[in-house]
């Protein structure tokens, strides 16, 4: 009886129909790709268990921008990094490529509810329309004081520790642990006017639930988890969601716990925001703007309360470790390249010397080297290295460059059938030598500063074309061609990119202005991990979780 509760009788025909569809669709055996390691797991171990995005780089180098790889039980998948194909998938025909596949969609629903991030088609359009007004340029600017407050709190904590423990003149910090707490506090303050208390160790239940949530849920998987996560993609989402609500495994328990805590807080916050809006208060946090925008939307297009709770949960989930990881990796590069670090510090101090008061966001946006370093950090270490999509109907995808099949035919389009899983390789795109130049595999902020040798003929993609700083006209001359897909592109590009840019500028300026960073003896053992969100670990100390130690000292002033 118990098993019929978990796996109802209707599930069996569904499963058979799904498997039949998988086996009878168009074959990709003529498309070049790596040899599968096993029938059971195909190439998925290399893809998901190995260092983040390494397989993507290797396959792109060996086979090009369209690569066939094997999923479980011989299933064919495609990895795509061709610009024209990405443009078609993310802009032109975006709603024909479903956001998540079965298992991932189920996890997303359970964790974050039916939010902007996991709904498709007209529902996504409705969600996005209500949410867009809360994420504009003026709104991101208005949040700058909240970011500054948290950044200053981090500086004060570090100065406190460094002056107390300073014997050798420096101290080693596990950078992502600190930045994850600081950005959690920042998103609480800016997005919800909510105090997580993560930096001062007075954490709320919600703060505890979200600390390093990504690594806990999606961190380095075992082979059996890779098999299971992909097997459940073959099942309908409703069934997988049902399984996840009852199975006693540790990961699903963590998802259920995080989901319960965040829903409880979301309900309370939405109630408070609604009361404040009713009283005519002009709060600037994202959630207040969202509640206000929803109230003034045509009732038929409004978000329901459940949907508002889901938006709060996805903002928290999508907007927290993405920024802390990007900052971590950028500091890592600056620590390894002291000349870049000094150049940035000199620019910050020169700007400071010119301004009478504290640096504003506008001052930071006028700093070309700061913009260049941030963009290079985003390009080189994209927090989300890949996106997964499921093809809804049979499609013919255009390509910017023809490819040659194994049997020697030249194809300038890609015919692909409904139900195919595709992986959009953002990290591999960001290192495309034809787009980013011959030094694409090198961290080089200079590429964003002057005329560069990138191919100007390629299809234009990436968030808001080639300018993703807030003052578009001011910075047009500083930006390079689009060689960064880190915020994705098109219909469902990152809605929080302006928020992220404002926050990251603020933290990076304060960090580099106040402290000097250098690698520790662990330098050679730092590895990028994570099948979804990329995070750092120290080889041989993986059980410590997210870790990137850097030596930190107070930055001298003349
Ligand atoms: C460096 C920081 C960030 C990076 C690299 C990043 C990257 C991305 C990417 C690649 C996507 C597309 C996901 C997909 O299509 O599957 C996305 C979507 C999204 N991001 Fe961000 N993000 C960042 C920061 C933020 C912040 C700060 C917020 C909120 C305050 C946010 C909220 C969202 C939401 C809600 C979506 C879903 C959009 C939709 O489906 O229409 N992100 N982000």
* CB contact at 8 A, 102 and 232: yes
Q: What is the pLDDT of residues 217-270, one digit of tens each?
A: 777 889 999 999 889 888 877 888 888 899 998 888 988 999 999 999 999 999
Phi–psi pair at 421, nearest 5 degrees: -90, 130
Find the 464 Cα to ligand 1 centroid distance in Å: 14
Find the 436 Cα to ligand 1 centroid distance in Å: 23
Angle among Cα 380, 382, 385 to the nearest 5 degrees reads 120
The kind and range of the H/E element at 274 are helix 250-278
Q: Give the Cα separation of 54 and 543 in Å (integer).
A: 21
Q: Which one of 218, 288, 318 would you pick to mutate in the ligand 1 pocket, going by the greatest count of ligand atoms within 8 A of its CB? A: 318
Q: How confident is the model at residue 79 (pLDDT cuts 50, 70, 90)?
A: very high
Q: What is the pLDDT of residues 311-363, one digit of tens each?
A: 999 999 999 899 999 999 999 999 999 999 999 999 999 999 999 888 999 99
pLDDT at residue 78, as a whole number: 97
Cβ-based neighbours of 168, under 8 Å, separated by 6 or more: none
From 6-10, 33-37, 205-209, 407-411, the region with the lowest mean pLDDT: 6-10
Find the 216 Cα to ligand 1 centroid distance in Å: 19
pLDDT at residue 6, as a whole number: 47
* CATH number, domain 2-103+385-430: 3.30.43.20
Q: How confident is the model at residue 209 (pLDDT cuts 50, 70, 90)?
A: confident
* Atom of ligand 1 at shortest range from CA of 190: 30
Q: Give the Cα separation of 347 and 188 in Å (integer).
A: 30
* Atom of ligand 1 at shortest range from CA of 90: 15
Residue 190 has pLDDT above 70, yes or no: yes
Q: Give the Cα separation of 132 and 494 in Å (integer).
A: 11
Cβ of 319 below 6 Å from ligand 1: yes
Cβ of 31 below 6 Å from ligand 1: no
Tokens of residue 391, six digits: 């093809």
Tokens of residue 294, six digits: 């929803």
**3-state class (DSSP) for residue 234:** helix
Residue 8 has pLDDT above 70, yes or no: no
Cβ of 488 below 6 Å from ligand 1: yes
Q: How confident is the model at residue 462 (pLDDT cuts 50, 70, 90)?
A: low
pLDDT at residue 506, as a whole number: 97
Residue 472 has pLDDT above 70, yes or no: no
Cβ of 42 below 6 Å from ligand 1: no
Of 364, 351, 293, 322, the closest CA to residue 144 belongs to 364
388 DSSP β-pair partners: 423
pLDDT at residue 86, as a whole number: 95
ipTM at complex level: 0.99
* Atom of ligand 1 at shortest range from CA of 187: 30
Q: What is the pLDDT of residues 105-146, one digit of tens each?
A: 888 888 899 999 999 999 999 999 999 999 999 999 999 999
Q: Give the Cα separation of 471 and 473 in Å (integer).
A: 6
Q: How confident is the model at residue 364 (pLDDT cuts 50, 70, 90)?
A: very high
Cβ of 392 below 6 Å from ligand 1: no
Cβ-based neighbours of 115, under 8 Å, separated by 6 or more: 108, 127, 307, 310, 311, 313, 314
Q: Give the Cα separation of 548 and 332 in Å (integer).
A: 8
Of residues 211 and 58, the one with the higher pLDDT is 58
Tokens of residue 274, six digits: 């609604």
Residue 466 has pLDDT above 60, yes or no: no
The annotated binding site is made up of 494
Q: Which one of 496, 508, 533 would you pick to mutate in the ligand 1 pocket, going by the greatest count of ligand atoms within 8 A of its CB? A: 496
Q: What is the distance of C-alpha 509 from the center of its chain?
A: 22
* Atom of ligand 1 at shortest range from CA of 491: 41
pLDDT at residue 20, as a whole number: 62
pLDDT at residue 458, as a whole number: 52
Q: Give the Cα separation of 116 and 288 in Å (integer).
A: 17
Strand 76-80 relative to strand 421-425, pairing: parallel
Average of per-residue pLDDT across 25-37 = 86
Q: What is the pLDDT of residues 386-416, one digit of tens each?
A: 999 999 999 999 999 999 999 999 999 999 9
Q: How confident is the model at residue 90 (pLDDT cuts 50, 70, 90)?
A: very high
pLDDT at residue 60, as a whole number: 97
Cβ of 532 below 6 Å from ligand 1: no
Query: What burial class does residue 410 get, using C-beta atoms within 10 Å of its C-beta: 0-12 exposed, 13-18 middle, 19+ buried?
Result: exposed
Residue 454 has pLDDT above 60, yes or no: no
Find the 486 Cα to ligand 1 centroid distance in Å: 9
Helix-strand-coil split of the chain, %, nearest 5: 55, 10, 30
Of residues 466 and 229, the one with the higher pLDDT is 229
* Atom of ligand 1 at shortest range from CA of 115: 35
Q: Which one of 315, 326, 494 would you pick to mutate in the ligand 1 pocket, going by the greatest count of ligand atoms within 8 A of its CB? A: 494
Average of per-residue pLDDT across 293-306 = 90
pLDDT at residue 169, as a whole number: 75
Cβ of 322 below 6 Å from ligand 1: yes
Find the 553 Cα to ligand 1 centroid distance in Å: 33
Q: What is the pLDDT of residues 514-536, one digit of tens each?
A: 999 999 999 999 999 988 789 99
Q: Give the Cα separation of 151 and 117 in Å (integer).
A: 28
Q: How confident is the model at residue 29 (pLDDT cuts 50, 70, 90)?
A: confident
Nearest residue by C-alpha to atom 22 in ligand 1: 494
If you average pLDDT over every residue of the chain, what do you get?
Answer: 87
Tokens of residue 382, six digits: 């994209």
The annotated binding site for heme is made up of 494
Of residues 8 and 181, the one with the higher pLDDT is 181
Find the 199 Cα to ligand 1 centroid distance in Å: 24
């Amino acid at each position: 009886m118990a098993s019929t509760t978990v796996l109802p009788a209707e599930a069996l025909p569904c499963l058979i129909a799904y498997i039949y569809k998988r086996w009878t669709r168009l074959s990709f055996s003529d498309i070049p790709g790596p040899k599968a390691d096993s029938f059971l797991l195909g190439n998925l171990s290399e893809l998901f268990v190995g260092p983040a995005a390494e397989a993507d780089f290797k396959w792109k180098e060996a086979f090009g921008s369209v690569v066939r790889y094997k999923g479980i039980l011989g299933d064919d998948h495609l990895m795509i990094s061709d610009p024209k194909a990405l443009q078609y998938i993310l802009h032109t025909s975006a709603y024909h490529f479903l956001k998540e596949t079965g298992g991932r969609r189920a996890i997303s629903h359970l964790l974050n509810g039916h939010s902007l991030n996991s709904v498709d088609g007209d529902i996504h359009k409705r969600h996005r329309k209500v949410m867009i007004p809360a994420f504009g340029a003026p709104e991101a600017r208005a949040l700058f004081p909240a970011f500054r407050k948290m950044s200053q709190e981090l500086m004060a904590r570090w100065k406190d520790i460094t002056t107390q423990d300073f014997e050798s003149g420096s101290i080693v910090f596990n950078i992502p642990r600190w930045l994850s707490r600081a950005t959690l506090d920042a998103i609480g303050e800016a997005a919800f006017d909510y105090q997580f208390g993560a930096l001062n160790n007075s954490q709320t239940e919600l703060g505890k639930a979200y600390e390093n949530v990504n690594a806990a849920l999606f961190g380095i998987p075992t082979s059996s988890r890779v098999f299971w996560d992909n097997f459940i993609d073959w099942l309908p989402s409703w069934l997988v969601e049902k399984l996840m609500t009852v199975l006693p495994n540790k990961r699903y328990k963590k998802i259920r716990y995080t989901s319960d805590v965040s829903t409880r807080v979301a309900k309370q916050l939405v109630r408070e925001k609604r009361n404040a809006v009713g009283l005519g208060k002009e709060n600037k946090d994202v959630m207040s703007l969202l509640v206000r925008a929803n109230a003034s939307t045509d009732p038929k297009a409004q978000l329901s309360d459940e949907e508002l709770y889901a938006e709060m949960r996805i903002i928290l989930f999508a907007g927290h470790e993405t920024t802390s990881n990007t900052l971590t990796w950028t500091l890592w590069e600056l620590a390894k390249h002291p000349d870049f670090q000094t150049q940035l510090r000199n620019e910050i101090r020169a700007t400071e010397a010119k301004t009478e008061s504290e640096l504003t966001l506008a001052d930071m946006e006028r700093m070309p080297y700061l913009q260049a370093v941030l963009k290079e950090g985003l390009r080189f270490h994209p927090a989300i290295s890949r996106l997964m999509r499921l093809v809804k109907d049979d499609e013919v995808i255009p390509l910017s460059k023809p490819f040659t099949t194994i049997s020697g035919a030249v194809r300038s389009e890609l015919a692909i059938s409904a139900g195919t899983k595709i992986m959009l390789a953002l990290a591999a795109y960001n290192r495309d030598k034809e787009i980013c130049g011959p030094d694409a595999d090198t961290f080089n902020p200079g590429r964003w500063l002057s005329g560069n040798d990138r191919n100007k003929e390629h299809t234009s993609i990436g968030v808001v074309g080639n300018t993703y700083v807030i003052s578009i006209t001011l910075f047009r001359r500083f930006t390079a061609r689009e060689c960064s897909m880190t915020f994705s592109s098109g219909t469902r590009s990152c809605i929080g990119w302006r928020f992220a840019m404002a926050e990251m500028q603020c933290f990076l300026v304060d960090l580099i202005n106040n402290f000097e960073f250098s690698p520790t003896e662990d330098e050679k053992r730092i590895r990028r991990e994570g099948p979804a969100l990329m995070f750092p670990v120290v080889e041989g100390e993986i059980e410590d979780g997210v870790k990137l130690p850097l030596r930190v000292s107070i930055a001298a002033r003349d």
